[in-house]
Chains A and B, each alone.
Chain A
Amino acid sequence: MTNEPDASNEILLEMRGIRIDGYSDEQWHPIIKGVDLTLRRGEIMGLIGESGAGKSTLGKAAMGYTQPGCKLTGGSIMFDGIDLAKASDREKRKLWGTRIAYVAQSAAASFNPAHRLIDQTVESSTRRGIRPDAESRADAVELFRALQLPDPETIGSRYPHQVSGGQLQRVMTAMAMSPRPDLIIFDEPTTALDVTTQVEVLAAMRNIVEEFNTAAIYITHDLAVVAQMADFIQVLRYGEEVEQAPTRQMLTKPEMPYTKSLWSVRALEKPEVKGEDIVLSIDHVDAAYGPLKVLHDVSISLPRGRTVAVVGESGSGKSTTARVMTGLLPPLTGTIMFNGEPLPPALKDRSKDQLQRIQMIYQMADTAMNPRQTVETIIGRPLEFYLGLTGKAREERVIELLKMIELDGSFLDRLPSELSGGQKQRICIARALAAKPDIIICDEVTSALDQIVQEGILKLLLRLQKEFNITYLFITHDIATVKAISDEIVVMFEGKVVEQGLKSEILSPPFPEYTQLLLSSVPEMDPDWLTNLLAARSA
Chain B
Amino acid sequence: MANNALTASCSVRNFKKIDGTRPSVKQGNARLNAVLATILKRLGLGLATLFVVSGIIFSSISMLPGDFSEAVLGQAATQETVAAFRKELGLDKSAPVRYFEWVGSVLQGDLGTSFSGRNASGQDRSRQVSDLVMPRLWNTLFLAGVTALIAVPLALFLGLTAALYRNTAYDRIVNALTLTTISTPEFFVAYILILFLASLWPVFPSLANIDATTDLGERLYRVALPALTLTLVIVAHMMRMTRAAIINLLASPYIEMARLKGASQSEIILKHALPNAWSPIATVIAFNLAYLVVGVVVVEVVFVYPGIGQLMVDAVTSRDIPVVQACALIFAATYILLNLTADIIGIVTNPRLLHPR
- Chain A residues packing against B (C-beta within 8 Å): 51, 60, 63, 65, 67, 93-98, 101-102, 104-106, 109-115, 123-124, 127-128, 150-151, 154, 158-159, 161-167, 175, 188, 191-194, 197, 221, 289-290, 292, 294, 313-315, 317-320, 322-323, 363-364, 443-444, 447-448, 475, 477, 494
B7 touches A313 (CB 8 A): yes
B3 touches A112 (CB 8 A): no
Does B263 count as interface, using CB distance less than 8 angstroms?
yes
B16 touches A127 (CB 8 A): no
A448 touches which of B1, B12, B267 (Cβ 8 Å): B1
23 A–B contacts from the bound complex (CB under 8 Å): A93-B263, A97-B263, A102-B257, A104-B257, A111-B257, A112-B254, A114-B275, A124-B262, A127-B267, A161-B352, A163-B22, A166-B19, A192-B2, A292-B12, A292-B15, A294-B12, A317-B10, A363-B4, A363-B9, A364-B4, A444-B7, A444-B8, A475-B8
A150 touches which of B4, B8, B20 (Cβ 8 Å): B20
A96-B261, A165-B18, A191-B1 known, 11 other contacts, Cβ within 8 Å: A102-B260, A113-B276, A123-B263, A159-B351, A163-B22, A164-B18, A164-B19, A166-B19, A175-B261, A192-B2, A364-B5
Within the complex, the shortest CB–CB distance from B349 to chain A, in Å, comes to 8
Q: Which residues of A contact B275 (CB under 8 A)?
A: 112, 114-115
- Chain B residues packing against A (C-beta within 8 Å): 1-10, 12, 14-22, 24, 252-254, 256-264, 267, 272, 275-276, 351-352, 355, 357
B8 touches A294 (CB 8 A): no
Q: Which residues of A contact B16 (CB under 8 A)?
A: 315
A113 touches B1 (CB 8 A): no
A161 touches B257 (CB 8 A): no
B14 touches A161 (CB 8 A): no
- With both beta carbons as reference points, the residue of chain A lying nearest to B2 in the complex is identified as A192
Q: Which residues of A contact B257 (CB under 8 A)?
A: 102, 104, 110-112
Q: Which residues of A contact B276 (CB under 8 A)?
A: 112-114
Within the complex, the shortest CB–CB distance from B351 to chain A, in Å, comes to 5
Q: Which residues of B contact A192 (CB under 8 A)?
A: 2-3, 6
- With both beta carbons as reference points, the residue of chain B lying nearest to A192 in the complex is identified as B3
Q: Which 7 A-B pairs have the closest CB atoms?
A: A319-B10, A97-B261, A97-B262, A114-B275, A444-B8, A96-B262, A109-B253
A447 touches B8 (CB 8 A): yes
Q: Which residues of A contact B267 (CB under 8 A)?
A: 127
A320 touches B357 (CB 8 A): no
A163–B257 CA distance with the chains assembled, in angstroms: 19
A162 touches B357 (CB 8 A): yes
- With both beta carbons as reference points, the residue of chain A lying nearest to B5 in the complex is identified as A364
A314 touches which of B8, B21, B264, B355 (Cβ 8 Å): B8
A370–B325 CA distance with the chains assembled, in angstroms: 50
- With both beta carbons as reference points, the residue of chain A lying nearest to B10 in the complex is identified as A319
Within the complex, the shortest CB–CB distance from A204 to chain B, in Å, comes to 13
A104 touches B5 (CB 8 A): no
Within the complex, the shortest CB–CB distance from B77 to chain A, in Å, comes to 61
B262 touches A94 (CB 8 A): yes
Name the residue among B16, B19, B263, B267 with the largest chain A CB count within 10 angstroms. B19
Given the known A-B contacts A102-B257, A112-B276, are A191 and B10 also in contact in the complex, defined by CB atoms under 8 Å? no
Q: Which residues of B contact A322 (CB under 8 A)?
A: 10
Q: Which residues of A contact B15 (CB under 8 A)?
A: 292, 294, 315
Name the residue among A114, A323, A444, A448 with the largest chain B CB count within 10 angstroms. A114
Q: Which residues of B contact A448 (CB under 8 A)?
A: 1, 4-5
Given the known A-B contacts A93-B264, A97-B260, A111-B257, are A443 and B8 also in contact in the complex, defined by CB atoms under 8 Å? yes
A63–B256 CA distance with the chains assembled, in angstroms: 13
B12 touches A289 (CB 8 A): yes
Name the residue among B7, B18, B22 with the largest chain A CB count within 10 angstroms. B7
Q: Which residues of A contact B256 (CB under 8 A)?
A: 67, 104, 110
Q: Give the secondary structure class of A's interface.
A: loop
A101–B160 CA distance with the chains assembled, in angstroms: 29
Within the complex, the shortest CB–CB distance from B162 to chain A, in Å, comes to 16
Q: Which residues of A contact B355 (CB under 8 A)?
A: 158-159, 161-162
- With both beta carbons as reference points, the residue of chain A lying nearest to B265 in the complex is identified as A89
A63 touches which of B1, B4, B260, B264 (Cβ 8 Å): B260
B262 touches which of A128, A163, A289, A290 (Cβ 8 Å): A128
A363 touches B14 (CB 8 A): no
- With both beta carbons as reference points, the residue of chain A lying nearest to B17 in the complex is identified as A315
Given the known A-B contacts A113-B351, A191-B3, A192-B3, are A319 and B8 also in contact in the complex, defined by CB atoms under 8 Å? yes
Q: Which residues of B contact A477 (CB under 8 A)?
A: 7-8
Within the complex, the shortest CB–CB distance from B144 to chain A, in Å, comes to 32
- With both beta carbons as reference points, the residue of chain B lying nearest to A50 in the complex is identified as B1
Q: Which residues of A contact B259 (CB under 8 A)?
A: 65, 96
Q: Which residues of B contact A154 (CB under 8 A)?
A: 24
Within the complex, the shortest CB–CB distance from A12 to chain B, in Å, comes to 18
Within the complex, the shortest CB–CB distance from A323 to chain B, in Å, comes to 7
B2 touches A191 (CB 8 A): yes
Given the known A-B contacts A192-B3, A318-B10, are A110 and B264 also in contact in the complex, defined by CB atoms under 8 Å? no
Within the complex, the shortest CB–CB distance from A88 to chain B, in Å, comes to 12
Name the residue among A112, A317, A475 with the largest chain B CB count within 10 angstroms. A112
Given the known A-B contacts A319-B8, A363-B8, are A104 and B21 also in contact in the complex, defined by CB atoms under 8 Å? no
A127 touches which of B6, B260, B262, B272 (Cβ 8 Å): B262
- With both beta carbons as reference points, the residue of chain B lying nearest to A194 in the complex is identified as B7
A447 touches B4 (CB 8 A): yes
B21 touches A124 (CB 8 A): no
B272 touches A112 (CB 8 A): yes
A320–B2 CA distance with the chains assembled, in angstroms: 20
A317–B254 CA distance with the chains assembled, in angstroms: 32
A161 touches which of B2, B10, B272, B351 (Cβ 8 Å): B351
- With both beta carbons as reference points, the residue of chain A lying nearest to B3 in the complex is identified as A191
- With both beta carbons as reference points, the residue of chain A lying nearest to B24 in the complex is identified as A154
Within the complex, the shortest CB–CB distance from A95 to chain B, in Å, comes to 7
A93 touches which of B2, B18, B24, B262 (Cβ 8 Å): B262
Within the complex, the shortest CB–CB distance from B20 to chain A, in Å, comes to 6
A164–B276 CA distance with the chains assembled, in angstroms: 21
Q: Which residues of B contact A289 (CB under 8 A)?
A: 12
B1 touches A314 (CB 8 A): no
Within the complex, the shortest CB–CB distance from A422 to chain B, in Å, comes to 15
Within the complex, the shortest CB–CB distance from B170 to chain A, in Å, comes to 18
Q: Which residues of A contact B262 (CB under 8 A)?
A: 93-98, 124, 127-128
Name the residue among B9, B252, B275, B357 with the largest chain A CB count within 10 angstroms. B9
Within the complex, the shortest CB–CB distance from A443 to chain B, in Å, comes to 6
- With both beta carbons as reference points, the residue of chain A lying nearest to B272 in the complex is identified as A112
A158–B256 CA distance with the chains assembled, in angstroms: 22
Q: Which residues of B contact A175 (CB under 8 A)?
A: 261
A128–B6 CA distance with the chains assembled, in angstroms: 37
Given the known A-B contacts A159-B355, A319-B8, are A123 and B261 also in contact in the complex, defined by CB atoms under 8 Å? yes
A111 touches B254 (CB 8 A): yes
A249–B118 CA distance with the chains assembled, in angstroms: 102
A443–B9 CA distance with the chains assembled, in angstroms: 8
B253 touches A110 (CB 8 A): yes
A197 touches which of B19, B24, B351 (Cβ 8 Å): B19
A123–B259 CA distance with the chains assembled, in angstroms: 12
Given the known A-B contacts A95-B262, A111-B254, are A314 and B14 also in contact in the complex, defined by CB atoms under 8 Å? yes
